[in-house]
Structure 1
Amino acid sequence: MTRTWFGDGVTGDEPARDVDEAEKGEGARPTVLLVEDDARLAALVRGYLDEHGFTVDVVTRGDRAADRIRQTNPDVVLLDIGLPGQDGLSVCREIRAGYAGAIVMMTARGDEIDEVLGLEIGADDYVAKPVRPRALVARLRANLRRIAERTPRAGERGVRVVGALSIDPGQRTVCYRGARVPVSTSEFELLEILARRAGHTVSREELLGESRGLRYDGLNRSIDLRISRLRRKLGDDSENPELIVSVRGVGYMLVTRP
């Protein structure tokens, strides 16, 4: 049996399945910064992730997380919301502009408002408490794959220019009208997909599938939230957008005019 970890450190059981060597992963161990004040839960998560190929560092206070992220630049930040010193949402907001890795929020089950807020301020994904160990590993690996797939090898792809917008896949940077625009990993991925198909409508289903590897069920709001954030950062009026336009009932299109 494997464990399900609850936010208060209590453990329960869920059906176990053998983990083969391929599932554990090969090569360099991805680094995870776990920001969690529950010592028992942090120890359980750290131990399980260590067994499954991750190197885990732990910070127990929100007001110490940003400095640790800047110092160590982990591949993934696994960030609880309820933290002493500074809550997880504030930490996410503070680090997002300068951190290119994935931010995965941990939220209490049923707290949809936390999920929405987390996505709005730049989180890439979330896991609900009680945390299911295997699902957590799958989420972390999925985010790492998305980052790797969107990071080109040297010389593989150049800067993509669409009107006044330029996207550099190598540096993972976005500039609009000559000014650099701070974007999250998930926002960058979404904008790059739209840029590759500039002038054409891309459905929500396609955007969700290509950027997050998920099927669109008609209810998932993460794409709309990311579009809203991108418009705000690019200065594109959400009431009358000129850069990222909505195609009613279908999806979004990146306009090619200057």
Structure 2
Amino acid sequence: MTRKILIVDDDQKTRLLLKTYLEKNQYEVKLSHNGESFLNEFSSQVDQLSLVILDVMLPDTDGFALCKIVRQRSNVPIIMLTASSDETDRIVGLELGADDYMAKPYSPRELLARIKAILRRYAAEAPAVANRYYRFVGFTMDLVERKVVDNNGVQVALTGLDYELLKYFVEHPGEVLDRNVLSEQTRGRDVGPLDRTLDVQISRLRLLLKDDSKQFALIKTVRGAGYVFSADVSVASV
């Protein structure tokens, strides 16, 4: 099945270059030149999309606003493109639910690698039924349906990146997990010494899980070592 990608970028040359390159690699590509056209395309094709790519700077809005709207309507993977050298753009995008970001200028080849990595995570095969459910402090993670619900049965709005990070934590409770290990498992690459991406993602995950350190400190920071998932985790088939 051909994967469909929706791209919004106000630079025509960039749009056409990406379309040509990605279609050569067996993706179906839809293009938008501003926020309005993107939202029209997104609304009409939301159930068919495998991934969206959002440029931060657009003539009628910005990629952050679009990211927020997309995330309210869908869990489709999001990659954000930013021309700014300031890491603030990247942090804001991740906090809003983007799965990855790339700074301009970038190579189409690297973007393709990021796309493949994200889609591999989303297409991961269902685990054995014996290990289907992980339960911790009132939450249940379903590895077959790739979702998490709280003790009231309400689904937690996790992105694919949120899900993969939490999954790795619940599979290794009580272990101190190095930052590079976590980044490699969720993004397929190490973090640099000044890269705050993982910290932002963990802060977002804490917020989604209502992880108040004054109450139970679900994800603890181990200074100079990494992070540890402190909850008791049980595994079940039903």
Give the aligned partner of residue 9 of structure 2: 36
Output one character per residue of 1:185-207: Cα deviation in whole Å (capped at 9) or x when no partner: 10111011101112322221211
Give the aligned partner of residue 32 of structure 2: 59
Matched, 1:181 2:159: no
Aligned partner (choices 52, 58, 66) of residue 91 of structure 1: 66
Shift of 1:257: 4.9
Aligned partner (choices 6, 23, 26) of residue 50 of structure 1: 23
Q: Supply the distance in 1 between the matched residues of 2:128 and 2:65 (Cα, whole angstroms).
A: 35
Runs of 4+ with >6 A deviation: none
Sequence identity (%): 34
Give the aligned partner of residue 126 of structure 2: 152
Question: CA 1:76/1:159 → structure 2, altered by over 3 Å: closer, same or farther?
Answer: same
Partner amino acid, structure 1, of 2:17: L
Aligned partner (choices 243, 246, 257) of residue 218 of structure 2: 243
Matched, 1:121 2:105: no
- Normalising by the residue count of structure 1, what TM-score does the alignment of the two structures yield? 0.80
Q: Supply the distance in 2 between the matched residues of 1:170 and 1:85 (Cα, whole angstroms).
A: 40
Shift of 1:39: 2.2
Give the aligned partner of residue 215 of structure 1: 190
Q: What is the Cα-based RMSD across aligned positions, in Å?
A: 2.3
Shift of 1:153: 6.1
Q: Supply the distance in 1 between the matched residues of 2:113 and 2:91 (Cα, whole angstroms).
A: 21
Give the aligned partner of residue 54 of structure 2: 79
Instruction: Please say if residues 97 and 183 of structure 1, whose CA atoms lie closer than 8 Å, have aligned partners that are also in contact.
Output: no
Give the aligned partner of residue 171 of structure 2: 196
Structure 1: unaligned runs, 5 residues or longer: 1-27
Tell me the matched-pair count: 230
Instruction: Please say if residues 199 and 255 of structure 1, whose CA atoms lie closer than 8 Å, have aligned partners that are also in contact.
Output: yes
Shift of 1:224: 0.9
Give the aligned partner of residue 139 of structure 1: 114
Partner amino acid, structure 2, of 1:52: N
Shift of 1:253: 2.0
Shift of 1:216: 3.3
Partner amino acid, structure 2, of 1:175: V
Output one character per residue of 1:103-161: Cα deviation in whole Å (capped at 9) or x when no partner: 11011051322112111211111122223121121121121122223x52685851211
Partner amino acid, structure 2, of 1:172: R
Q: Supply the distance in 2 between the matched residues of 1:230 and 1:50 (Cα, whole angstroms).
A: 34
Give the aligned partner of residue 163 of structure 1: 137
- Normalising by the residue count of structure 2, what TM-score does the alignment of the two structures yield? 0.86
Structure 2: unaligned runs, 5 residues or longer: 234-238
Shift of 1:85: 3.2
Aligned partner (choices 163, 172, 176) of residue 146 of structure 2: 172
Q: Supply the distance in 1 between the matched residues of 2:41 and 2:142 (Cα, whole angstroms).
A: 27
Instruction: Please say if residues 127 and 143 of structure 2, whose CA atoms lie closer than 8 Å, have aligned partners that are also in contact.
Output: no
Question: CA 1:64/1:244 → structure 2, altered by over 3 Å: closer, same or farther?
Answer: farther
Question: CA 1:245/1:98 → structure 2, altered by over 3 Å: closer, same or farther?
Answer: farther
What secondary structure sits across from 2:126 in the alignment?
coil
Question: CA 1:256/1:217 → structure 2, altered by over 3 Å: closer, same or farther?
Answer: same
What secondary structure sits across from 2:31 in the alignment?
strand
Question: CA 1:174/1:70 → structure 2, altered by over 3 Å: closer, same or farther?
Answer: farther
Partner amino acid, structure 1, of 2:30: D
